[in-house]
């Protein structure tokens, strides 16, 4: 999640796309395995989260280290940890990344290898059938990739799971525990839904308290010398429609659009690969992309889909959790304090706005999850 610089001609000097290089530095990926809130029927898992590759409770049947190989009948290093599901046999990616291997290997059977960046990869072996993902595909933590099996050099159904650092297998147990995803046999913990706002006292007619968008801080960049640009009417209508669907101030989406592409005036793919009106990395869009215009296609380069997806991502990042939540959500969109303040400055320039704590749940009839 490190920002990557991109030159923008004349009007805006530097743009940092959302969740830039989400898988770039494994050391920065230290959050727990809990998933984010649901929206539009899809469970949102933040890019960068680590979790167990299992989807049910499981048993550890063989640890990392030297052992007598049950098939080859020789003493050799067991380069991973063997996990046997006690319920669901679906195997999922342990974190976001790019698939570099998908297919058959004599020893590993049907296997998948995912590159998470920073020299860290994970291997998933012995799937019962061909993997569900292809080489080059971007995945998020929790993306289904295959089904536990016993192909290759295996004597029983299990997942062989490896963590590979700088080309060398390392003990997965301490590494995963240090990244908030201990391989302790427990089923993944699903996040509890956000609490609903407290009901008004009978007869008071009171509504949940709202809060205004926070004021920008002192560290700004673009907004110091680039005024808020006029918004094309068709783009303004998209900001307003997406904001209504997700219970957000439309000015917040407009401000992001201003910083990222000046409302679509500069939408060339960045040097890091960010695309579209709101400058998403493809891996991030794969997790949070929604069909904003209802045409049945989730397209990173479609302005409606991009704008609705930004609203979806802000919601998943806790934008409605008070003023601090707004700043944290913008920080998640692009890890830079000046970026947060630039967006808040432009949001005020476009008219400001307010949110209701606990709001931000999307209208699932107007958006659809990415396939």
Domain boundaries, the chain: 1-46+209-371, 53-178
Judge if pTM exceeds 0.85: no
pLDDT band at 139 (very low <50, low <70, confident <90, very high): confident
Q: Are 288 and 312 in contact (CB under 8 A)?
A: yes
Rg of the chain in Å (alpha carbons): 22
Do 1-46+209-371 and 53-178 share a fold?
A: no
Residue-level pLDDT at 14: 37
Domain 53-178 homologous superfamily, CATH? Glucose Permease (Domain IIA) (2.70.70.10)
Q: What is the band of 360 on the pLDDT scale with cuts at 50, 70, 90?
A: low
**The pLDDT of residue 71:** 79
Summarize the confidence of residues 20-29 as an average pLDDT.
32
The average pLDDT across 139-149 equals 90
Residue 269, C-beta contacts closer than 8 angstroms, at least 6 positions apart? 275
Is-contact 89 109, C-beta < 8 A?
no
Decide: residue 41, CB within 10 A, 0-12 exposed, 13-18 middle, 19+ buried: exposed
pLDDT of the residue at 4? 36
- Res. 326: pLDDT tops 60: yes
Please state the rounded mean pLDDT for residues 317-338.
Answer: 86
Tell me the CA end-to-end span of the chain in Å, nearest whole number. Answer: 23
Name which residue leads in pLDDT, 217 or 65.
Answer: 65
In the three-class reduction of DSSP (H, G, I as helix; E, B as strand; rest coil), residue 26 is classed as helix
Q: Are 246 and 360 in contact (CB under 8 A)?
A: yes
Q: In this predicted structure, what is the pLDDT of residue 189?
A: 58
Q: Please tell me the distance from the alpha carbon of residue 317 to that of residue 92, in angstroms, as a whole number.
A: 22
- Model confidence at 20: pLDDT above 50: no
Q: How many CB atoms lie within 10 A of CB 78?
A: 17
d(CA 343, CA 330): 8
Distance set, CA 302 to CA 47, 113, 279 (Å): 22, 31, 11
Residue 359 clears pLDDT 60, i.e. is over it: no
Tokens standing for residue 184: 């302790």
Residue 235: what are its φ and ψ, rounded to 5°? -75, -40
pLDDT at 103: 95
Q: Residue 66, class by beta-carbon neighbours within 10 Å (0-12 exposed, 13-18 middle, 19+ buried)?
A: exposed
DSSP-derived pairing of the beta strands 109-117 and 120-127: antiparallel
CB 61 within 8 A of CB 53: no
Query: Does the structural domain 1-46+209-371 have CATH classification 1.10.530.10?
Result: yes
Average confidence score pLDDT of the chain: 79
The DSSP symbol for 54 reads B
Contacts of 157 (CB under 8 A, 6+ apart): 84, 89, 126, 128, 148, 149, 150
**Mean pLDDT along residues 348-356:** 89
Give the bridge partners for 103, in sequence order.
111
Residue 209: which pLDDT band, with cuts at 50, 70 and 90? low
Residue 199's pLDDT band (boundaries 50, 70, 90)? very low
More confident residue, 171 or 273: 171
3-state DSSP assignment of residue 280 = strand
């Amino acid at each position: 999640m490190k920002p990557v610089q991109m030159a923008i001609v004349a009007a805006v000097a530097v743009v940092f796309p959302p969740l830039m290089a989400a898988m770039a530095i494994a050391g920065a990926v230290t959050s727990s395995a809990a998933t984010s809130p649901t929206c539009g029927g899809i469970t949102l898992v933040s890019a960068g989260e680590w979790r167990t590759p299992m989807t049910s409770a499981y048993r550890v049947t063989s640890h990392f280290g030297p052992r007598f190989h049950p098939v080859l009948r020789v003493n050799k290093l067991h380069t991973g940890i063997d996990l046997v599901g006690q319920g669901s046999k679906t195997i999922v990616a342990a974190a976001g990344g790019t698939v570099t291997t998908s297919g058959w290997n004599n020893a590993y059977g049907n296997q998948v290898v995912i590159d998470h960046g920073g020299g860290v990869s994970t291997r998933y072996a012995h799937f019962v059938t061909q993997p569900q993902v292809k080489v080059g595909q971007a995945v998020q933590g929790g993306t289904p990739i295959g089904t536990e099996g016993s192909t290759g050099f295996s004597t029983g159904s299990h997942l062989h799971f490896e963590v590979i650092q700088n080309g060398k297998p390392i003990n997965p147990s301490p590494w995963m525990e240090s990244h908030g995803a201990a391989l302790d046999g427990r089923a993944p913990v699903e996040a509890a839904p956000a609490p609903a706002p407290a009901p008004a006292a009978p007869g008071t007619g009171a509504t949940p308290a709202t809060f205004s968008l926070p004021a920008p801080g002192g560290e700004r960049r673009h907004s110091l010398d680039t005024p808020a640009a006029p918004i094309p009417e068709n783009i303004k209508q998209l900001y307003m429609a997406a904001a209504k669907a997700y219970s957000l101030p439309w000015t917040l989406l407009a401000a992001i659009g201003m910083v990222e592409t000046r409302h679509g005036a500069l939408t060339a793919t960045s040097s890091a690969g960010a695309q579209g009106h709101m400058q998403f990395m493809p891996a991030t869009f794969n997790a949070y992309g929604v069909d904003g215009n209802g045409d049945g296609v989730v397209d990173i380069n479609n302005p409606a889909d991009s704008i609705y997806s930004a609203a979806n991502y802000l919601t998943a990042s806790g934008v409605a959790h008070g003023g601090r939540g707004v700043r944290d959500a913008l920080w998640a969109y692009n890890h830079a304090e000046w970026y947060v303040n630039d967006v808040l400055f432009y949001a005020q320039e476009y008219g400001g706005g307010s949110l209701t704590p606990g709001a931000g749940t999307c209208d699932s009839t107007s958006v659809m999850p990415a396939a």
